[in-house]
């Protein structure tokens, strides 16, 4: 005997055969990307500082024109750090850390690729997620779709690639 209503089996992810990214994998990917960004910023800051320090006069009363180059290098490092994640999210959905951990950021609505603008919104969501004792990141632990506040703000999900 068949019944007109068949209960649906809950899906592991946003579509059949797709799984949400594991919580620990997301955390490890976050650490990997943080290390990469810190390393890159560090290189720019060290080079910029050396150039700036070398342009100071021996009596430390004036600064030469190369100080501007050093300052611009440090600023460039900061800009690269800000654009790192949105660039990779919009290019392939995977930062190097996400790629290593087999994760991908996609639109929650249809699983499509994330635009650069959505990546910027998601990055702003990172700031909001971290502003209150990282509660927005910890939300991943209790949310059924494993979305942090940044995911909810940008309408994204992280899936297993």
Residues 6+ away with beta carbon under 8 Å from 73: 44, 47, 48, 51
Output 10 or 115, whichever has higher pLDDT: 115
For the entire predicted model, the pTM comes to 0.84
CA distances to 60, 61, 70 from 67, in Å: 13, 13, 5
Q: Which whole number is the average pLDDT over 77-86?
A: 94
Per-residue pLDDT at 98: 98
The proportion of the chain whose per-residue pLDDT surpasses 90, expressed as a percent, equals: 75
Q: CB of 47 within 8 A of CB of 73?
A: yes
């Amino acid at each position: 005997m068949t019944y007109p209503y068949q209960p649906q089996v809950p899906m592991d992810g946003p579509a059949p055969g797709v799984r949400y990214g594991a919580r620990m994998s997301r955390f490890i990917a976050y650490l990997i990307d943080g290390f990469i960004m810190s390393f890159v910023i560090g290189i720019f800051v060290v080079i910029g500082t050396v150039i700036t320090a070398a342009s100071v006069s021996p009596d430390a009363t004036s600064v030469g024109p190369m100080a501007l180059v050093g300052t611009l290098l440090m600023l460039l490092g900061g800009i690269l750090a800000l654009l790192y994640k949105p660039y990779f999210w919009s290019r392939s959905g995977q930062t190097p850390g996400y790629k290593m951990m087999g994760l991908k950021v996609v639109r929650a609505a249809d699983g499509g690729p994330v635009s650069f603008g959505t990546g910027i919104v998601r990055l702003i969501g990172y700031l909001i997620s971290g502003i209150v004792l990282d509660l927005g990141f910890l939300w991943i632990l209790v949310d059924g779709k494993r979305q942090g506040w940044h995911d909810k703000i940008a309408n994204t999900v992280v899936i297993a690639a």
